[in-house]
Amino acid sequence: MRISVRPSAVVPTSCRNDPSTMSAMPLDVHEVCVVVPVYRGERTLPVLVPSIVGAGGVTDDGHEFIVVEVLLVHDCGPDNSAAVIDELQAKYPGVRAVWLSRNFGQHAATIAGMASSSASWVVTMDEDGQHNPNDIGLMLDTALESGADLVYGHHKSGAPHARWRNAASWLAKRMAQMLCGTSSSLFSSMRLVEGESARAVAAYCGPRVYLDVALSWVIRQPAVCEIQTQAELREGSGYNVRQLASHFWTLILSSGTRPLRILSLGGVVVALAGFIGAAAVVIAKIRRPELEQGWTSVMCTILFVGWLILLTLGVVAEYVGAALMASLGRPLYVVVDRPRHLNRPTSPAKRAVS
């Protein structure tokens, strides 16, 4: 990825509100806001933030973009990240802190940053340095070329985690895709989201909703972009096994009602099998009167009651599914400007070639 780097490309918010300053900025420059949830960023932020600040430039397809703000969402971690954020705010005018009252988790912190953004594009990335800010231009090219409002960055050679964690992540995503029908295999914490859609999702995303599932509710088909793999700037992960399991369970619960539908369908199938079994027991008694007394009636009662219970559970599952979708806050509709996929712009480089 060849990027023409513009040093100190972040535009302070005060300058963005100044008409004389903004009039000098070309209209076709794409403004980008970078959201970084911070939990243990004392050692990583001093290296990561300068690379984000200087990430603006011209992409391979000739699109010019500029990082107008960097939002560091402080999620009340155990280290001295707050002091580092204060120093970075003082050093870089475009860097701004979003302070949370307590630790809410990575997804909640990311949503808080998206809600506080104002740019036409929002990029989310981790604080540990595994994501390269220079890939923003590559993801922007992918979004404009495909007409997508959401682009996920996928590591070319796998995420820089332990093998067991990468394997568990792969298995969890495949299970969620099979059970829930979501495109969870695409999910990644490195995202490029159209700003209007990002803020719309942040407005209604509830506490038990997986962020990427909420994005799928309002955004058409996401695109995927191959990004560079970088070693993390710290040792160890911010997630333990319990937190990863909780993360997976949140994905399952917020991905829809397909698991409940599977349970409901299973109840109907087993109930039908029980009905057929009861009929077979009655027929066997008619053909073989010598069968032990009471066996037929007991089996018929067990099969009938089991059929009734499973059928009732299937009906209850349907009502639980309806209540679940209502509690998640899934919107009936979201109004946006003209969808990007209906009017795909041709990149300046390709227009020049033609």
pLDDT category at 2 given cuts 50, 70, 90 is: very low
What's the chain's average pLDDT? 76
C-alpha–C-alpha distance, residues 339 and 259, integer Å? 32
Radius of gyration for the chain, computed over Cα atoms and rounded to the nearest angstrom:
26
pLDDT category at 329 given cuts 50, 70, 90 is: low
CB proximity list for 259: less than 8 A, separation 6 or greater: 179, 180, 252
* 316 has a pLDDT exceeding 90: no
Dihedral of the alpha carbons of 136, 65, 56, 114, in degrees to the nearest 10: -60
Which pLDDT does position 4 carry in this prediction? 40
pLDDT category at 347 given cuts 50, 70, 90 is: very low
Running DSSP on this structure, what letter comes out for residue 277? H
Which pLDDT does position 133 carry in this prediction? 92
- Phi, psi angles (nearest 5°) of residue 34: -105, 125
300-to-152, 280, 286, 291, 330 alpha-carbon distances in Å: 55, 9, 14, 14, 44
C-alpha–C-alpha distance, residues 259 and 43, integer Å? 42
| pLDDT tens-digit series, residues 290-305 | 767 776 677 777 767 7
- pTM here is 0.69
Tell me which of 175 and 57 has the higher pLDDT. Answer: 57
- Measured at the alpha carbon of residue 77, what is the angle toward residues 74 and 232, in degrees to the nearest 5? 90
Q: What is the DSSP string of 190-216?
A: -EEEEHHHHHHHHHH--TTS-HHHHHH
Which pLDDT does position 269 carry in this prediction? 76
Which pLDDT does position 353 carry in this prediction? 40
Which pLDDT does position 320 carry in this prediction? 73
Cβ 220 vs Cβ 262: under 8 Å: no
Cβ 200 vs Cβ 334: under 8 Å: yes
Which pLDDT does position 159 carry in this prediction? 55
E strand segments, the chain: 30-38, 57-58, 64-74, 95-99, 121-124, 150-155, 191-194, 223-227
192-to-11, 125, 228, 232 alpha-carbon distances in Å: 19, 9, 15, 21
Which pLDDT does position 129 carry in this prediction? 85
Tell me which of 226 and 27 has the higher pLDDT. Answer: 226
Token pair for 156? 């070319």
C-alpha–C-alpha distance, residues 351 and 348, integer Å? 5
Token look-up 């997804």 returns: 107
Residue 341: CB atoms within 10 Å: 12
* 7 has a pLDDT exceeding 50: no
**Mean pLDDT across 168-187:** 62
Which pLDDT does position 5 carry in this prediction? 41
Closest by CA position to 73, among listed 117, 31, 32: 117
